[in-house]
Amino acid sequence: MWLSSIEETGEAWFSLEPLTLLYPYKSVQKKITDAFFPYLEILKRYSESTKQTIQLLSDEYVQKQPDVIEQNVALLKNAIELWKTATKVSDAIAPILLHYSWHCFNSFFVYSIFRWEPRHTKSHGVKIVLSDELKEIEIQILETGLFKRLIDTFTIIGTPLVFSRFLPLIKNEKIEFMPNDNYLPDQNNRIPLKQLLDYDAVGYEKTMYASRKDELITCPFLANSIYLPNQLIQAYLILFVASSIARYRPVLWHSILVGRDEEESTFALKSSQAALDYTLGQHRDLGFVSQVTRILRSVEEGTFMLKKRNGSQVK
């Protein structure tokens, strides 16, 4: 089941493979800097709202720290190699490799645009509270780590995430970052696995349009700027759980793959779908890799822009 979900999705990497070479990546990264330069004030506002320092990966910084380019290229190479390896192993360990592939790809994505202090994180940014019973498993979202930086990145470019404490909304003709009343984790930053599996990204989009329609930002560089990014991040967390179970609870993972009961069968199907969501998506070109490719393509074509619903550029 797992292998059939991922082995035919290699074409998702086709447009990104040239960026595993330094010269093509340098060219694209320079265009990324140029595309995001008009939004420095938005970046500053987000930094102030979250009380952290986030900066654009500027030309000046790259000149002073040229190794950052090679590191980002290495991250993309690792993501692709781990994905390729995952397509050749058994279902018993495939989720472990896929999770680390996605983790590397997240790093490539966010570090190609922004930089944080410290430069590299010390954790994935998510922890799992494991159990031999699926119903007792929980995820904890950390206030620091790579996952938080992924959430930062999508929030800054205008995506209202249920996983973010702040929503990017248009207030007084400019983007402000407002507290998110629909933040999914509880007060301890935990999400029970069942709640994560039951989360409805389409329903969340409907809620946002019903309550915030005139304040939302249009992101034409994404296939969908509300339900899809939320669904893909949900898939990342589901795959993280699958990888942790496969690594630390192999007996439970075997039972899940066998599908002994409804609960385990449901998780087996959801985690298999999450693996597909990583690359092409359950519907062609709607996977995470495909969406990042869309962003980079809009940057290369000079069409990257944050817009109001009337089509005008936001500030």
**110-166 pLDDT tens trace:** 999 999 988 888 889 999 999 999 999 999 999 999 999 999 999 999 999 999 999
The answer as to whether 315 is a domain residue is no
Are 37 and 125 within 8 A, CB to CB? no
Are 285 and 223 within 8 A, CB to CB? yes
Q: Which domain holds residue 266?
A: 2-301
Residues 6+ apart with CB under 8 A from 107: 75, 146
* pLDDT above 80 (res 284): no
The answer as to whether 124 is a domain residue is yes
Q: What is the total count of domains within the chain?
A: 1
What is the spatial distance between Cα 64 and Cα 212, in angstroms, rounded to a whole number?
42
The answer as to whether 148 is a domain residue is yes
pLDDT tens figures, 26-78: 999 999 999 999 999 999 999 999 999 899 999 999 999 999 999 999 999 99
The answer as to whether 307 is a domain residue is no
Q: Which of 207-211, 218-222, 251-255, 280-284 has the lowest mean pLDDT?
A: 280-284
The answer as to whether 308 is a domain residue is no
Backbone angles phi, psi at 54, to 5 degrees: -125, 130
The answer as to whether 312 is a domain residue is no
Backbone angles phi, psi at 139, to 5 degrees: -110, 140
The answer as to whether 237 is a domain residue is yes
Backbone angles phi, psi at 28, to 5 degrees: -70, -40
* pLDDT above 70 (res 3): no
Contacts 24+ apart (CB under 8 A), 171-175: 171/215, 173/314, 173/315, 174/41, 174/42, 174/314, 174/315, 175/42, 175/45, 175/217, 175/306, 175/314, 175/315
* pLDDT above 90 (res 312): no
pLDDT tens figures, 115-128: 998 888 888 999 99
pLDDT of residue 223: 86
Query: pTM here?
Result: 0.95
Q: What is the mean pLDDT of the chain?
A: 92
256: exposed, middle or buried (C-beta count within 10 Å: 0-12, 13-18, 19+)? buried
HSE-CB for 314 with a 13 A CA cutoff: 32
User: Distances from the Cα of 306 to the Cαs of 38, 131, 169, in angstroms?
Assistant: 10, 43, 11
In the chain, DSSP assigns E strands to: 54-56, 114-116, 126-129, 138-141, 166-171, 174-179, 190-192
The answer as to whether 306 is a domain residue is no
